[in-house]
Amino acid sequence: MLLTILSLIIDAVSYGMALFIISIGLSIMMGLMRVVNLAHGAFAMIGGYLASYALVNLGAPYLIAALIAVVGTIIISIPFELLLYRRIYRKSDSLTQLLLTIGVTFFIIGVMNFVFGPTVKPVPLPSWLSGPVDIGFRMVPAHRIFVVICGALTALALWVLFDRTDFGVRLRAAVDDSDMAESLGIRTDVLYLLTFALAVGLAAFGGVVGAELLPIEPYYALRYMVIFLVVVSVGGAGSIAGALAASFLLGLADTTGKYFMPEYGDFFFYAAVIAIVFLFPNGLLGRESG
Amino acid sequence: MNGLSGLLLAAIAFSMLGAGAFADTIKVGVIGPMSGPFALYGQNFKMGIDAWVAEHGSKVAGHDVEFVYRDEGTPNPAHSKALAQELLVKDKVDYLAGAYFTPDAMAIAPLLAEAKTPLVVMNAATSSITTKSPYIVRTSFTMWQNAVPAAKAAKAAGAKKVAIAVSDYGPGIDAEEAFKKTFEGEGGSIVESIRMPLSTTDFSPIMQRIKDSGADMIFTFLPSGPPTLGFVKAYIDNGLKVQGVKLISTGDVVPDPDLAAIGDAGVGILSTYHYSVAHDSPENKAFLAQIAKDGGKVGEVTMTAVAAYDGARLIYKMIEATDGKRDPDKAIAALKGTQWMSPRGPVSIDPETRHIRQNVYLRKVENVDGKLINKEIETYKDQPDWGLEKH
C-alpha cells in the first residue's frame, strides 16, 4: 500500500513537472505581461518540431537539438513580438489579446501542417534517457527523472532571475507601474522583448521535453492549450511557486484518478481544477488582478 | 419521315445518350483518415488502391473506374455520415470504401440500403459491423479474429496470469472479450482488466496497476498510432519488460513503421496479426515492389495498404459481375465464397459473414540484419471472424 502511494507520488511529480515546464512560460506572459497568450501552445509545438527535425534529419545529439529548438523558436517568435504582441501588452483589453493570439495559433498550425505534414513527429530520446532506472522499490522511466531535474532547475533559475537580479527588479517595477518605471529610465520595451523571449524559450523547451507525454503534431497547439491555461489559472498567473504547486496537485489528481479508475479519464484532473478554483478564485498563489 | 416521327427519333436518341453511355465512369468513394494523427493509415489506403490500379489498369469490363478520397480525420460518426451522404448524392458514387474507425463505419451502414451502394470496409475491426447491412463486405480483420489466436499463443508461451489493458471503445472491448473468453477457456486466469480512455497519453499509472496485479503477461489493444507507441514505450520504460512481464497484443500495437521508434528494447514483444510487411511470399514482394515503384516508402506500409489492395480487387470483381450497373445484391453475391492469394497469404470471403477469412500469424519483434521486423514464427490457418461464429 505504502509502495503504491509512493509510486503514485513519483508519477504525479514527473507528470506535474512536465506540465510545469511547459506552462511556466504562459504564467509569465499572463502574470507579468498581462497577455493571455493562446499561442503559447503553438510556440511549444514549434520547439518540438525543431527538435524533432534536428534529431531525426540532422542527427544532432539530444541536448544540442533542444538548444536548437529553444533558440530557433525564439528567433521565429521575434517578428511576432515586434509586429503583433508589442501592441497588446498591458493596456489592451482581453478580447483583443484572445483574438490576436488565437489567430496566430491557427496560422502556425496551418504552416506546420504544410511544412511537416499531419503525422506525429517523434522526438527520439538518446540511450542515456531511455529505458527504466531502478530506484529501489520501483522502476522509473529515465526520461521522467530527467524532466523532474529540468523542472526543478528551471524553477530555481527563474526564482533567482526574478527575485535576485537587476533584471527581475526592473521587470517587476515595469509590471507594477510602467509609467513610473519609464520615467525613471527603465527601457520597458526592451524588458518586454526579453521577457517575451524568455516565455517563448521556456515554451519551446517544454515542448521538447514533454514530447513523450504530449506528441508533436499540427493540432498540438490547440489540443493541449486548455491544460496549460488550467495550470496557470489554478496556480495563479505570474507565480512560480503557484505554478509548481498547481502542477503537482493536478498531476496528483490525474495520476491517482487514472490508477484507481482509468475509465474516467481526465475527469479527476478537471474535478480538481473546479475544486481548487472554487476555493482560491485567483489561483493558489495568485494576486488580485489590478 | 414527317416532323413528328423525326422529333420522336431525336427524343429517343437523346434519352439513349443519357441512359448510360458505354464509356461511363464508375466512381468509388474512399473515406479514410487523410490528415491528423492517423493520416499514415489513410495514406496507406491510397497506396494499396494505387498499387492495384497500377497493376490492373483503371478500366473494368469496359467501364472506367475512378477513386475519390475524403478525409475521415479522427473518429467522428456524424462527420463520416455527412461525407458518405455527400459522396452518394453529390458525387454519385457507385461504391463506398474505407472506414478506418468503427464508429464511422457504423454511421455509414444505415445509408447503404437506401442508396443501394455496397461498402467495402478496409479497416474498422469490430465484428458487428458486417451485421449492420447486407451490403457490407470487409477486407481487413476483426479483433476476435486476431485476439483468439493471441490467447492461444499466450497459453502456449506459458502465461498463467494475464492483465488485460485495452482502449475503451468498440474494438478494445471486443479484444478484451475475445481474449478473456479464450484464455479462461484454456485454463488461464485474468488478474486485471483495465479500459483506458482513447485520449490517454500518460500510461505510467496503468503500468503501475498492472505491476500491482502480479500478472506475468499483458494483453493489450490500442488503435495504431500515437497511443500504441506511448503504451509500448511506457511498458519498456517503467521496467515491466526487464522484470519479466511479457507483452502480447494484436499487431495493431506494433505497426511495422513504429518498430524503429520503439528500438531494440522492443525485441521479444509478441503479437498476432493477419499481415506483416516482412511476410515472405512472392505476392507480398510484388505488392511492395509496386508500392515502391509508385513512389511510396516501404517503411511506411501498414495493414491498411493490403486491405485496400484486396478491397480494390473486390470492387473490380463487383463491377465485372454487375457490368457497371447499380445492383448491390448481385455485387455482394458475386463476392461470397471467393478465394485468392493476397500479399498477406491465402484468403477468402466468408459467405455467411461477408468478412475475410485469413491466416493469422504469431510474430515476434526481432532484429534481422540491423532492421527491426515483426517476424512470423507460427501460423494459425484460415481464421474466421470468431466474434460472429459464437452468436
CB contact under 8 A, B237 and A132: yes
Does B195 sit within 8 Å of A262, measured CB to CB? yes
Collect all residues of chain A within an 8 Å Cβ-Cβ radius of residue B212: 4
* CA gap B324, B64 in Å, rounded: 9
Inter-residue contact B235 to B165 (CB < 8 Å): no
B101 sits in the region (left: phi over 0; alpha: psi -120 to 50; else beta) called: beta
pLDDT score recorded for residue B9: 63
> Domain for residue B316, yes or no?
yes
Could you tell me the pLDDT band of residue B21, with boundaries at 50, 70 and 90?
very low
Q: Where does residue B64 rank: exposed (0-12), middle (13-18), buried (19+ CB within 10 A)? A: middle
Contact A143 B237 (CB under 8 A): yes
Using only C-alpha atoms, chain B has a radius of gyration, in whole angstroms, of 23
**Do B180 and B135 share a structural domain?**
no
CB contact under 8 A, B204 and A213: no
- Answer yes or no: is B7 within a domain: no
Contact between A16 and A23 under an 8 Å Cβ cutoff? The reply is no
Name residue, grid cell 529548438.
A69
| DSSP notation for A70-97 | HHHHHHHHHHHHHHTGGGGSTTS-HHHH
The three cell numbers of residue B91 are 458525387
- What DSSP state is assigned to residue A39? T
A115-144, pLDDT tens digit by residue?
987 777 888 888 888 888 888 777 888 888
B51 has a chain A CB within 8 A of its CB: no
The three-class DSSP label of residue B278 is: coil
Q: Give the pLDDT band of residue B66 (cuts 50, 70, 90).
A: very high
Closest-CA distance of chain B to residue A284, Å = 25
B233-268: pLDDT as tens digits: 899 988 899 889 999 999 999 988 888 878 888 899
B271 pLDDT exceeds 50?
A: yes
Return the pLDDT at B150.
94
Say if CB B108 and CB B80 are below 8 A apart.
Answer: yes
Alpha helices for chain B (secondary structure H): 3-18, 39-56, 77-89, 102-115, 143-156, 170-185, 204-212, 226-237, 259-262, 282-293, 303-322, 328-335, 386-390
Instruction: Write out pLDDT tens, residues B149-186.
Output: 999 999 999 999 999 999 998 889 999 999 999 999 99
By the CB < 8 Å criterion, does A128 face chain B? no
Contact B320/B290 with Cβ under 8 angstroms?
no
**So where are chain A's domains?**
2-120+141-279
Q: Does the pLDDT at position B20 exceed 50? A: no
pLDDT computed for residue B19 by the predictor: 45
- Alpha carbon distance A215, A235 (integer Å): 24
User: Is B235 in the same domain as B384?
Assistant: yes
Residue B8 banded pLDDT, cuts 50, 70, 90: low
Measured between CA atoms, the residue of chain A closest to residue B232 is A131
pLDDT of B23 reads 56
Sign of CA pseudo-dihedral B357, B359, B362, B367: negative
User: Any chain A CB within 8 A of the CB of B299?
Assistant: no
DSSP, collapsed to helix, strand or coil, labels residue B67 as: strand
Local structure of residue B160 (DSSP, 8 states): -
A135 to chain B nearest CA, in Å? 11
Query: Could you identify the residue written with the cell 519609464?
Result: A182
Residues B100, B132 share a domain? yes
Count CA within 13 A, CB hemisphere, residue B273.
Answer: 31
Contact call for residues A246 and A235 (beta carbons, < 8 A): yes
- Judge if B216 and B228 occupy the same domain: yes
User: Which pLDDT value is given to residue A89?
Assistant: 78
Same domain, B284 and B321: yes
B246 vs B13 pLDDT, higher one: B246
Helix (H, G, I), strand (E, B) or coil at A134: strand
Rounded CA separation B201/B204 (Å) = 9
Task: Fill in the amino acid letter for B81.
Answer: K
pLDDT along chain A (290 residues), means of 10: 84 91 92 88 96 91 94 95 84 84 94 84 86 82 91 93 86 81 85 91 94 86 90 88 92 90 86 90 68
Show the domain range for B295: 22-141+280-354
Tell me the average pLDDT across B62-85: 93
Q: B126-144: per-residue pLDDT in tens?
A: 888 999 999 999 999 999 9
- Here the ipTM equals 0.80
- Judged by a CB distance cut-off of 8 A, whether residue A126 touches chain B is no
Query: Is B331 domain-assigned?
Result: yes
A117 Cβ under 8 Å from any chain B Cβ: yes
| Pair B219, B248: CB distance under 8 Å | yes
CB proximity under 8 Å: A 25-64 to B: none
- Whether pLDDT at B28 is above 90: yes
| Cβ proximity of A105 and A77 under 8 Å | no
* CA R_g for chain A: 19
pLDDT at res. A90: 66
Asked if the C-beta of A219 comes within 8 angstroms of chain B's C-beta atoms, the answer is yes
Indicate whether B183 and B34 sit together in one domain: no
Identify whether B300 is part of a domain. Answer: yes
Question: Do residue B246 and residue B335 come from a single domain?
Answer: no
Strand partners, A48: none
- What is the pLDDT at residue B4? 67
Q: In this predicted structure, what is the pLDDT of residue A91?
A: 63
Phi, psi values for residue A117, rounded to 5°: 85, 170
The answer to whether residue B263 sits within a structural domain is: yes
Query: Could you give the number of structural domains in chain B?
Result: 2
HEC-encoded secondary structure of B86-110: HHHHCCCCCEEEECCCHHHHHHHHH
Whether residues B378 and B347 share a domain: the answer is no
Residue linked to cell 486476431 = B146
For residue B108, the domain's CATH number is 3.40.50.2300
Chain B contact for A140 (CB, 8 A cutoff): yes
Q: Using the 8-state DSSP alphabet, how is residue A160 labeled?
A: H
Query: Is residue B270 a contact partner of residue B250, using CB atoms and an 8 Å limit?
Result: no
Contact A254/B at CB under 8 A: yes
Distance, CA of B223 to CA of B196 (rounded, Å): 11
Tell me, yes or no, whether B71 and B121 share the same domain.
yes
The answer on B367 and B261 residing in a single domain is yes
- B213 with B191: CB under 8 angstroms? yes
Residue B6 predicted with pLDDT over 90: no
pLDDT at B7: 66
Residue B150 sits in the same domain as residue B260: yes
Residue A269 vs residues A69, A206, A283: alpha-carbon distances, Å: 30, 20, 15
A143 neighbors A130 (Cβ within 8 angstroms):
yes
Query: Is residue B1 domain-resident?
Result: no
> Are B269 and B247 contacting, i.e. CB atoms less than 8 angstroms apart?
yes
What's the pLDDT at A289?
47
Rounded to whole angstroms, how far apart are CA atoms B39 and B1? Answer: 63
Instruction: Using DSSP bridges, classify how beta strands B25-32 and B59-60 pair: parallel, antiparallel or unpaired.
Output: unpaired
Fold of A2-120+141-279: ABC transporter involved in vitamin B12 uptake, BtuC (1.10.3470)
Nearest residue, CB atoms, B265 vs list A122, A130, A215: A130
pLDDT band at residue B356 under the 50/70/90 scheme = very high
Q: What is the DSSP string of B106-151?
A: HHHHHHHHHHT--EEESS---GGGGGS-TTEEESS--HHHHHHHHH
B153 and B250 fall within a common domain: yes
Pairs across A and B, CB distance < 8 A: 104
B242, A117: Cβ pair inside 8 Å? Answer: no
Shortest distance, CA B221 to any CA of chain A (angstroms): 15
